[in-house]
């Protein structure tokens, strides 16, 4: 463990950022609070007396340099990541420190690889992106399920959310992605990502008990598809989302997350099942937990801790499954944050 316990959290006052700050403090790190809105940042700072507050704008590189100065790493929680990822990564490269984010925007994830894979490797910097419920968890589960297989015929990811209370940041990021796609959907088939215009098909998925058989929307592609396809060899990645969650997300007046206890977590629950198929053989990994946004905090903080402690030996841009021992990483989240079964 490094003697430097300071970690800059960009977007610290946001919904997920707040959970990340709390998780860092719980684990003995010292968050440096940063973000674009000075008033919100200072107000949040009053809740965490003694922590440094450093406002910074993605349009002002000098302010970002000040925000990251002296930190052991930076965790970016500020969406839309199409606007924030590149400037904060640029700053991390100048500062010579690891960068992690909780980006779930498919196009932003692709951009991170395209723009920074070579530069991060040449600069000796570790970048781990999409280290959140979407992007990180599915990738770890798929990697753990894959085990010693070098390829698979198909990887399926089924998201069993009892509800989806989207944050304002999620809704804004969704609008940005929708504009970039010109209204099209993303699918992964025949070994590549492509854009389609037809409506997503509806079907059913049988989740483990107690969730059971649920109506789902197929081809509900999330960041996991980008992260998995970077390092696991398969021509087909299929995604499914419970209809109840889709209705919540697309409701004209969506309900935002509501805290159900002192931790700030909502009562929302999830089950994620990943099935890896090769011929007639199947391998599965199932994870369940509570509050998809709150869960992203222990996920990204555990990743940051491993990166800073030198467990990622090679520099560059990585996904969760590439960077870490997937089974060991998932086990570290149990039972406090996750219930897990791999078969």
Whether residue 342 is contained in a domain is answered as no
Same domain assignment for residues 224 and 155: yes
Same domain assignment for residues 324 and 210: no
Q: How many CB atoms lie within 10 A of CB 39?
A: 9
Among 65, 101, 64, 96, smallest CA distance to 81 is for 101
Same domain assignment for residues 251 and 228: yes
pLDDT of residue 1 exceeding 70, the answer is no
**pLDDT bucket at 178, cuts 50 / 70 / 90:** confident
Same domain assignment for residues 123 and 137: no
CB 45 within 8 A of CB 56: no
Average pLDDT, integer, range 264-273: 97
Q: How far is CA 164 from CA 99, 167, 233, 268, 338, in A?
A: 28, 9, 31, 7, 18
Same domain assignment for residues 106 and 179: no
Average pLDDT, integer, range 28-39: 97
Which of 54-68, 147-161, 250-264, 324-338 has the least mean pLDDT?
250-264
Whether residue 199 is contained in a domain is answered as yes
Same domain assignment for residues 85 and 11: yes
Same domain assignment for residues 44 and 138: no
pLDDT of residue 299 exceeding 90, the answer is yes
Q: Where are the beta strands (DSSP E) in the chain?
A: 6-10, 30-35, 53-55, 73-76, 99-101, 126-128, 154-161, 185-189, 192-196, 202-206, 213-218, 237-242, 269-278, 281-290, 316-318, 339-342
Report the helix count and the strand count for the chain, using DSSP H and E. 12, 16
pLDDT of residue 35 exceeding 90, the answer is yes
What per-residue confidence (pLDDT) applies to 330? Answer: 98
What value does the mean pLDDT of the chain take? 96
Whether residue 337 is contained in a domain is answered as no
Whether residue 64 is contained in a domain is answered as yes
Whether residue 272 is contained in a domain is answered as yes
What per-residue confidence (pLDDT) applies to 168? Answer: 92
pLDDT of residue 150 exceeding 70, the answer is yes
Burial label for 165, CB within 10 Å (0-12, 13-18, 19+), is buried
pLDDT of residue 338 exceeding 70, the answer is yes
Task: For residue 124, give the CATH number of its domain.
Answer: 3.40.50.720
User: Cα–Cα–Cα angle for 205, 158, 273, nearest 5°?
Assistant: 100
What per-residue confidence (pLDDT) applies to 210? Answer: 87
What per-residue confidence (pLDDT) applies to 209? Answer: 87
Token pair recorded at residue 47: 């809740």
Domain that holds residue 85: 6-132+296-332
Same domain assignment for residues 170 and 139: yes
Q: Measured between alpha carbons, how far is 137 from 160 in angstroms, rounded to an integer?
A: 13
Share of the chain above pLDDT 70, in %: 100
Distance of CA 246 to the CA centre of its chain: 19
């Amino acid at each position: 463990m490094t003697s430097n316990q300071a970690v800059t959290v960009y977007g610290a006052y946001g919904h997920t950022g707040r959970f990340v700050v709390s998780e860092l403090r719980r684990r003995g790190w010292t968050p440096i609070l940063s973000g674009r809105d000075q008033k919100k940042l200072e107000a949040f700072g009053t809740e965490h007396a003694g922590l440094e507050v450093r406002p910074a704008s993605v349009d002002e590189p000098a302010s970002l340099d000040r925000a990251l100065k002296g930190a052991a790493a930076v965790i970016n929680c500020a969406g839309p990541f199409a606007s924030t990822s590149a400037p904060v990564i640029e700053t991390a490269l100048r500062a010579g420190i690891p960068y992690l984010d909780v980006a779930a925007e498919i196009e932003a994830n692709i951009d991170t690889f395209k723009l920074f894979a070579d530069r991060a490797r040449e600069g000796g910097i570790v970048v781990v992106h999409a280290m959140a419920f979407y992007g990180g968890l599915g990738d770890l589960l798929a990697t753990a399920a894959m085990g010693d297989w070098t390829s698979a015929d198909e990887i399926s990811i089924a998201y069993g959310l009892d509800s989806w209370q989207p944050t304002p940041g999620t809704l804004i990021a969704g609008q940005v992605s929708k504009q970039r796609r010109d209204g099209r959907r993303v699918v992964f088939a025949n070994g590549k990502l492509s854009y389609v215009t037809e409506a997503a098909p509806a079907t059913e998925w049988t989740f483990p008990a107690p969730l059971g058989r649920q109506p789902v929307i197929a081809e509900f592609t999330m960041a996991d598809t980008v992260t998995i396809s970077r390092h696991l060899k398969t021509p087909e990645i299929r995604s499914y989302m419970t209809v109840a969650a889709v209705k919540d997300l697309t409701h004209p007046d969506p309900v935002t997350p509501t805290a159900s206890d002192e931790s700030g977590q909502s009562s929302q629950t999830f089950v994620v099942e990943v099935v890896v198929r090769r011929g007639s053989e199947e391998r599965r990994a199932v994870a369940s937990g509570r509050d998809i946004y709150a869960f992203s905090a222990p996920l990204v903080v555990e990743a940051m801790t491993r990166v800073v402690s030198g467990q990622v030996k090679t520099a560059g841009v990585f996904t969760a499954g590439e960077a870490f021992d997937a089974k060991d990483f998932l086990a570290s989240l149990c039972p406090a944050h996750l219930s897990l079964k791999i078969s």
